[in-house]
């Protein structure tokens, strides 16, 4: 199988959409390496979990690859300098994130030297490390999931290693329109992707790896196939899947490849699988074998609002404005700037936001969906037909409008992957996905509030208990004193009274 025969032996994915892929423009040219920008903006949180803790001071000179913020807490990832230069500031800066518009960033003024930090010791071959040491090592490289979820890879591996695993699945599906960075990565760096797969298999102790690619990427499939023939590793299998959105979602991919459903609220490891993006695998390879932490990535710059759509290798921290300028700048059709793809991305109001580890695409669209033009639901059920989770979006929307948390839970709101398929097919133009996102946030807020109230209650009760205890203790002491006084007899009482009188006199004397 190492020759990379394409297979279609697949499980079922419900619904989904065949979208125009819009990838031709950005895949027409090879990946362009961007020059070092004048300034780098490095958010200290580019991952799921706790923000990293800055360990450099303002004015300090840093080198390329130098650790500038270390992982803080049980779920976190470090940040490294993407080039050499001087730390200008650590301050809030506009970023693209789920909540809020700005976040603390380390601002570095590049000196253009691009001087790299000299590693303490040359990287050891990965197979000489124990899986556990390898996982720790991956964590130190600041590697996070590059498919968009940016879960710290080291911690994902540590969690996965506690479960019985069968398959490592490398996700090269890239099903969202416009995005082609993984496609180009596989075309140009197939050997690194597969090298990463071997490291991951060692770190996870698994013996089988599927590299999964959508059928609309023949060049990537050929490149991976060739690299597999060179590598001759019988553990790695290439799997081709039909082009349908959102087959690249983690749980959807597991379902397609293994025909197993990832349990609600669970992880792919619950069904013996662990999924990593091909970009993550390549980043791991570069870190473990070449000693280069995650300081750059390939990103797609595309859309009708960009003069020359292309894929670029950019340093993490380069502003989106700089990247678009390198891609020929905006066209006069630029209306909307989106970080990520057209289905799951996030729109931003300014191109000052930096490229972060998660940024797989910078999309400039020429139109905006009208707001408020929605009509009543006609119960056509198209949304349910396309939902990959088999939810009933029209029912969810109804309950979301009524803010009925119990019903929302019963109808699987938390299972919604926000793929946006239902929005696209809704003839009434109801913003379903946005309403589900808001409903989730609201439920989360309520839960947070409840947790806060619970903590306050516990604190209050423990305070009451403490006061009660102290009171009881005082009473007990008093009783004991009384008891001992009684047992000591009248002489002792006189003695005590005398002592108290003296004390009293002393106090008066002091005044």
Residue 343 interacts with other proteins (CB under 8 A): yes or no? yes
Residue 362 interacts with other proteins (CB under 8 A): yes or no? no
What value, to the nearest 5°, has the Cα angle with vertex 16 and ends 15 and 21? 155
Residue 244 interacts with other proteins (CB under 8 A): yes or no? no
Residue 251 interacts with other proteins (CB under 8 A): yes or no? yes
In the complex, minimum distance from the CB of residue 265 to other proteins, in angstroms, rounded to a whole number: 8
Please give the DSSP secondary-structure letter assigned to residue 35.
P
H or E segment and range at residue 412: none
Residue 348 interacts with other proteins (CB under 8 A): yes or no? yes
Per-residue x/- track, 98-127, other proteins (CB under 8 A): ------------------------------
Q: Which stretch binds other proteins (CB under 8 A): 25-33, 107-115, 156-164, 392-400?
A: 392-400
Residue 95 interacts with other proteins (CB under 8 A): yes or no? no
189 vs 360, beta carbon nearer other proteins: 360
Residue 364 corresponds to which tokens in the numbers above?
């400039």
Q: Whole-angstrom distance between the N-terminal and C-terminal Cα of the chain?
A: 99
Pairing mode, strands 167-172 and 273-277: parallel
SS3 sequence of 248-304: CCHHHHHHHHHCCCCCCCCCHHHHCEEEEEHHHHHHHHHHHHHCCCCCEEEEEEECC
Which whole-number Å values give the CA distances from 149 to 224, 264, 277, 345, 500, in the listed order?
24, 18, 10, 12, 73
In the complex, minimum distance from the CB of residue 190 to other proteins, in angstroms, rounded to a whole number: 31
137 vs 336, beta carbon nearer other proteins: 336
Residue 378 interacts with other proteins (CB under 8 A): yes or no? yes
Q: Which stretch binds other proteins (CB under 8 A): 60-68, 125-133, 154-162, 391-399?
A: 391-399
Residue 113 corresponds to which tokens in the numbers above?
């030297």
65 vs 420, beta carbon nearer other proteins: 420
Residue 291 corresponds to which tokens in the numbers above?
């000693």
Residue 365 interacts with other proteins (CB under 8 A): yes or no? yes
17 vs 55, beta carbon nearer other proteins: 17
Residue 349 interacts with other proteins (CB under 8 A): yes or no? yes
Residue 361 interacts with other proteins (CB under 8 A): yes or no? no
Residue 190 corresponds to which tokens in the numbers above?
């197939």
Residue 144 corresponds to which tokens in the numbers above?
């996070």
Residue 330 corresponds to which tokens in the numbers above?
């905006």
Q: Which stretch binds other proteins (CB under 8 A): 123-131, 289-297, 311-319, 389-397?
A: 389-397
Residue 337 interacts with other proteins (CB under 8 A): yes or no? yes
Residue 259 interacts with other proteins (CB under 8 A): yes or no? no
Which whole-number Å values give the CA distances from 81 to 33, 144, 183, 418, 506, in the listed order?
18, 16, 27, 33, 70
Q: Total binding residues for other proteins by CB under 8 A? A: 67
Three-state secondary-structure class, residue 423: helix
Q: Which residues contact 496 (CB under 8 A, 6 or more apart)?
A: 485
Residue 246 interacts with other proteins (CB under 8 A): yes or no? no
Residue 415 interacts with other proteins (CB under 8 A): yes or no? yes
Residue 96 interacts with other proteins (CB under 8 A): yes or no? no
Residue 205 interacts with other proteins (CB under 8 A): yes or no? no
Q: Which residues contact 504 (CB under 8 A, 6 or more apart)?
A: none
5 vs 380, beta carbon nearer other proteins: 380
Among 273, 284, 358, 391, binds other proteins (CB under 8 A): 391
> What residues form DSSP beta bridges with 401?
none
Q: Quick one: angle between helices 190-204 and 153-161, nearest 10?
A: 40
Three-state secondary-structure class, residue 420: coil
In the complex, minimum distance from the CB of residue 394 to other proteins, in angstroms, rounded to a whole number: 7
Residue 335 interacts with other proteins (CB under 8 A): yes or no? yes
Residue 76 corresponds to which tokens in the numbers above?
């976190």
Among 263, 290, 467, 482, binds other proteins (CB under 8 A): 263
Distance, CA of 419 to CA of 246 (rounded, Å) = 7
Residue 317 interacts with other proteins (CB under 8 A): yes or no? no
Residue 347 interacts with other proteins (CB under 8 A): yes or no? yes
Residue 379 interacts with other proteins (CB under 8 A): yes or no? yes
| Contact yes or no for 302/22 (Cβ under 8 A) | yes
292 vs 423, beta carbon nearer other proteins: 423
Q: Which residues contact 236 (CB under 8 A, 6 or more apart)?
A: 2, 194, 197, 198, 209, 211, 228
Q: Which stretch binds other proteins (CB under 8 A): 122-130, 277-285, 412-420, 487-495?
A: 412-420
Q: Which residues bind other proteins (CB under 8 A)?
A: 14, 19, 177, 251, 255, 261-266, 321, 330, 334-338, 340, 342-351, 363, 365, 367-369, 371, 375-381, 384-385, 388-392, 394-395, 411-412, 415, 418, 420, 423-429, 431, 433-434, 437
């Amino acid at each position: 199988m190492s020759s990379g025969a394409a297979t279609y032996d697949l499980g079922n994915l419900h619904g989904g959409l065949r979208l125009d892929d819009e990838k031709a423009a950005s895949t027409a040219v090879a990946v362009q390496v961007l020059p070092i920008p004048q300034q780098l903006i490095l958010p200290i949180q580019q991952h799921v979990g706790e923000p990293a803790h800055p360990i450099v001071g303002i004015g300090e000179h840093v080198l390329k690859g130098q650790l500038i913020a270390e992982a803080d807490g049980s779920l976190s990832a470090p940040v490294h300098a993407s080039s050499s230069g001087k730390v200008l500031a650590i301050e809030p800066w506009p970023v693209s994130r789920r909540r809020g518009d700005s976040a603390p960033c380390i601002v570095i003024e590049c000196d253009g030297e691009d001087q790299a930090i000299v590693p303490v010791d040359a990287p050891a071959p990965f197979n000489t490390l124990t899986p556990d040491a390898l996982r720790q090592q991956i964590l130190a490289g600041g590697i996070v999931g590059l498919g968009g979820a940016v879960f710290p890879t080291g911690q994902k591996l540590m969690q996965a290693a506690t479960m019985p695993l069968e398959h490592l699945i490398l996700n090269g599906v890239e099903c969202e329109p416009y995005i082609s960075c993984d496609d180009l990565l596989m075309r140009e760096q197939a050997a690194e992707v597969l090298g990463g797969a071997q490291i991951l298999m060692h770190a996870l102790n698994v013996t089988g790896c599927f590299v999964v690619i959508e059928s609309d990427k023949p060049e990537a499939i050929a490149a991976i196939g060739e690299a597999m023939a060179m590598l001759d590793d019988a553990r790695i299998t290439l799997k081709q899947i039909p082009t349908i959105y959102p087959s690249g979602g983690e749980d959807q991919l597991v379902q397609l490849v293994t025909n197993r459903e990832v349990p609600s609220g669970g992880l792919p490891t619950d069904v013996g699988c662990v999924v990593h993006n091909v970009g993550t695998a390549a980043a791991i390879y570069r870190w473990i074998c070449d000693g280069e932490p995650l300081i750059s990535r390939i990103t797609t710059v595309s859309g009708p609002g960009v003069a020359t759509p292309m894929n670029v290798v950019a340093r993490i921290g380069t502003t989106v404005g700089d990247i678009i300028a390198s891609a020929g700048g905006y066209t006069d059709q630029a209306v909307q700037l989106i970080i990520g793809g057209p289905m799951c991305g996030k729109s931003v109001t300014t191109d000052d936001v930096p490229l972060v580890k998660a940024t797989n695409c910078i999309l400039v669209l020429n139109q905006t969906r009208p707001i408020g033009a929605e009509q009543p639901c006609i119960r056509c059920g198209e949304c349910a037909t396309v939902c990959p989770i088999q939810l009933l979006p029209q029912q969810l929307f109804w309950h979301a409008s009524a803010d009925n948390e119990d019903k929302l839970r019963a109808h699987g709101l938390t299972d919604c992957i926000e793929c946006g398929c239902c929005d696209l097919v809704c003839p009434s133009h109801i913003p379903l996905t946005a309403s589900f996102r808001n409903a989730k946030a609201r439920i989360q807020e309520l839960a947070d509030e409840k947790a806060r109230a619970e903590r306050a209650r516990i604190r209050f009760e423990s305070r009451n208990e403490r006061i009660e205890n102290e009171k009881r203790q005082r009473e007990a002491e008093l009783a004991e004193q009384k008891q001992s006084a009684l047992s000591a007899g009248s002489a002792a009482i006189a003695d005590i009274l005398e002592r108290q009188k003296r004390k009293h006199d002393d106090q008066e004397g002091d005044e």
